């Protein structure tokens, strides 16, 4: 089944560096970021895994549990973890799923045969507490991801869930937002946006950041 934004994230059980994980149960009432790595003991992945560990306070603030997956087995991940900790100067504080049978890679369509028959591309799935996929990003193996961009996009998703706003180009938490075009009742708008708004065009209404 093709995975889209809005699809329920496929559930699975798989071994990890922190023991067996039943994915939906493991997510619990939080959000998850599931991200794939082509292979253990590879340079780009090593830097990415360290970067995600260093962002722990940022994931926690947003109620997010990161979880990595690579097609090697858990024993290999555990050996690799020592290298990651040594070279990136941080302890790993989230699980890496073993996936030697490619169960997760297949469920999430992480193997793109035109890129490589057996290794995964760099996929990112942001999954909310209802287990719904909210964001999908795919990078080739040779391009390391920008996890600050993933945090920025999660800030936008979580803000949209609370307030009837969208976020403009290059938006960052705290910046002005856009009132969604479907909201047109001025009474409701005054209630939702007590700080007011500026109508640049009827379809482009800017309001100050509505969050705390
Ligand atoms: C890496 O993680 O460094 C990598 C993995 C596969 C292909 C190219 C780079």
Interval 98-130: pLDDT, tens: 999 999 999 999 999 999 988 999 999 999 999
CA of 70 to the centre of ligand 1 (A): 12
Place of tokens 């307030």: 163
CA of 18 to the centre of ligand 1 (A): 24
Q: Report how far residue 68's alpha carbon sits from residue 154's, in angstroms, rounded to the nearest whole number.
A: 17
Ligand 1 binding residues, C-beta < 6 A: 38-39, 42-45, 141-142
In angstroms, how far is CA 36 from the centroid of its own chain?
Answer: 11
Catalytic status, residue 177: no
pTM above threshold 0.75: yes
* Residue of 27, 45, 67, 165 with catalytic role: 45
What letter would DSSP give residue 9?
Answer: P
Consecutive H or E run containing 79: helix 74-88
145-166 residue pLDDT tens: 999 999 999 999 999 999 989 9
Going by alpha carbons, the residue nearest to atom 6 of ligand 1 is: 141
- Bridge partner residues of 33 (DSSP): 66, 126
Contact between 10 and 27 under an 8 Å Cβ cutoff? The reply is no
Is the predicted pLDDT of residue 1 greater than 80, yes or no?
no
Q: Report how far residue 47's alpha carbon sits from residue 135's, in angstroms, rounded to the nearest whole number.
A: 22
**Confidence (pLDDT) at 128:** 98
């Amino acid at each position: 089944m093709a995975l889209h934004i809005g699809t329920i994230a496929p559930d699975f059980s798989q071994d990890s560096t922190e023991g067996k994980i039943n994915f939906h149960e493991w997510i619990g009432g939080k959000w998850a970021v599931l991200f794939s790595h082509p292979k253990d003991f590879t340079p780009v992945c090593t830097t990415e895994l360290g970067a995600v560990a260093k962002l722990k306070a940022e994931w926690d603030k947003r109620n997010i549990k990161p979880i990595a997956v690579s097609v090697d087995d858990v024993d290999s991940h555990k050996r690799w973890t020592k290298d990651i900790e040594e070279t990136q100067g941080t302890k790993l504080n989230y699980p890496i799923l073993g996936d030697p049978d490619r169960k997760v890679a297949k469920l999430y369509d992480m193997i793109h045969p035109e890129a490589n028959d057996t290794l995964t591309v760099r996929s990112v799935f942001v999954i909310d507490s209802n287990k719904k996929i909210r964001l999908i990003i795919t990078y080739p193996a040779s391009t390391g991801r920008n996890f600050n961009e993933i945090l920025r996009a999660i800030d936008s998703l979580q803000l949209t869930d609370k307030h009837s706003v969208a976020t403009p180009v290059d938006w960052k938490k705290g910046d002005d937002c856009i009132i969604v075009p479907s909201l047109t009742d001025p009474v409701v708008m005054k209630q939702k946006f007590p700080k007011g708004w500026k109508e640049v065009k009827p379809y482009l209404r800017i309001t100050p950041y509505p969050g705390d």
